[in-house]
Amino acid sequence: MKVTVVGAGAVGASCAEYIAIKDFASEVVLLDIKEGVAEGKAMDLMQTASLNGFDTRITGTTNDYSKTAGSDIAVITSGIPRKPGMTRDELIGINAGIVKSVASSLLEHSPDTILIVVSNPMDTMTYLVHKTTDLPKNRIIGMGGALDSARFKYRLAEAMEAPISDIDGMVIGGHSDKGMVPLTRHATRNSVKVSEFLTPERLEQVAADTKVGGATLTKLLGTSAWYAPGAAVSGLVQAIACDQNKMFPCSALLEGEYGLNDISIGVPVILGKNGIERIVEIELDEAEMAKMKESAEGVSATNGLLQV
């Protein structure tokens, strides 16, 4: 199993590290345009192999796509991150060009690969890859909901003073401060609805904190987060590589599901060896459906800024 990660920055390197530590891939190739950076990070990570007990071989390359040939899965993290006070949408001008050319170079050398898009604004970058490549829709996956759901569970556990392993919950919709739709009504602590433990006001606060999870970290760090994003990507990669049939909310191209068309947005999907094995349509109530519709309008407006 060969995995390429384009962008050896904060998220790319974290993602490579988690993939290696989980030890399910034979090879991870890191690629970056900055001379020597991918090679350096790959070497540094390889020097953790005997300490962390993995056999995955990590190599780095400066923009040589021939080294990525035959990748089963390729992750796109190349592009600029936001700074405090910015929205993810503001990154579109620079990141669209990068994501489009990276996807095309990857496919030249790995025509059968499954692409995972991470660069922001992620739903729109995923849509861009759908529009500019001829890959079937199951092989283009946007990562956002897995991360947002992890943050939702963190906030729920914090509010309930419960261990995170007790909590289950999911965030769908667009990966943006306003567009996320935390499914509070469906969230549970060991199968018991979270509304049994928390007041409606506290649950509102949990949802609000979840939605600005990325912005909160960006303010603290001066750039956006990387540990949880890297871990979330590694979870998707593992589900595909190991044909786990695991369910994650991912940005997927919709053709009528949830009443939406011609948009890539976060919905629950089953991930296995073919990428998106299927989209899961869960029953949403009127309020949840209205939030999803509003979220989709936001993503569509950003898609409208693309020049494709």
Ligand X SMILES: NC(=O)C1=CN([C@@H]2O[C@H](COP(=O)(O)OP(=O)(O)OC[C@H]3O[C@@H](n4cnc5c(N)ncnc54)[C@H](O)[C@@H]3O)[C@@H](O)[C@H]2O)C=CC1
Residues annotated within a binding site: 7-12, 32, 82, 88, 95, 118-120, 151
- Helices then strands (H, E): number in the chain? 10, 14
Nearest to 170 by CA among 52, 288, 70: 288
3-state secondary structure of 222: coil
CA 212, distance to chain mean position in Å, is 16
Site size toward ligand OAA (CB under 6 A) is 12
Enumerate binding residues for ligand X (CB under 6 A).
6-12, 31-34, 37, 77-82, 91, 95, 98, 102, 118-120, 122, 143-144, 147, 175, 223-226, 229
Residue 236: phi, psi to the nearest 5?
Answer: -65, -45
CA distance 126 to 172: 15
Under DSSP, the state recorded for 176 is S
The only residue of 88, 100, 155, 211 in contact with ligand OAA, by rule CB under 6 A:
88
175 is catalytic: yes
The only residue of 143, 159, 225, 253 in contact with ligand OAA, by rule CB under 6 A:
225
Among all residues, whose Cβ is closest to ligand OAA?
214
Nearer to ligand X, 143 or 296 (CB): 143
Could you tell which of ligand OAA, ligand X, none binds residue 71, using a CB distance below 5 to 8 A set by kind?
none
The only residue of 142, 229, 266, 298 in contact with ligand OAA, by rule CB under 6 A:
229
Number of Cβ atoms within 10 Å of the Cβ of 51: 7
Question: With contact defined as beta carbons under 8 Å apart, do 182 and 200 qualify?
Answer: no
The only residue of 214, 235, 268, 272 in contact with ligand OAA, by rule CB under 6 A:
214
Which stretch of DSSP H or E encloses residue 142?
Answer: strand 140-142
Site string for ligand OAA, 30-69 (x = CB under 6 A): ----------------------------------------
Catalytic residue among 109, 130, 175, 186: 175
Report CA torsion sign: 53, 153, 298, 249. positive
Could you tell which of ligand X, ligand OAA, none binds residue 33, using a CB distance below 5 to 8 A set by kind?
ligand X
The catalytic residue positions are 175
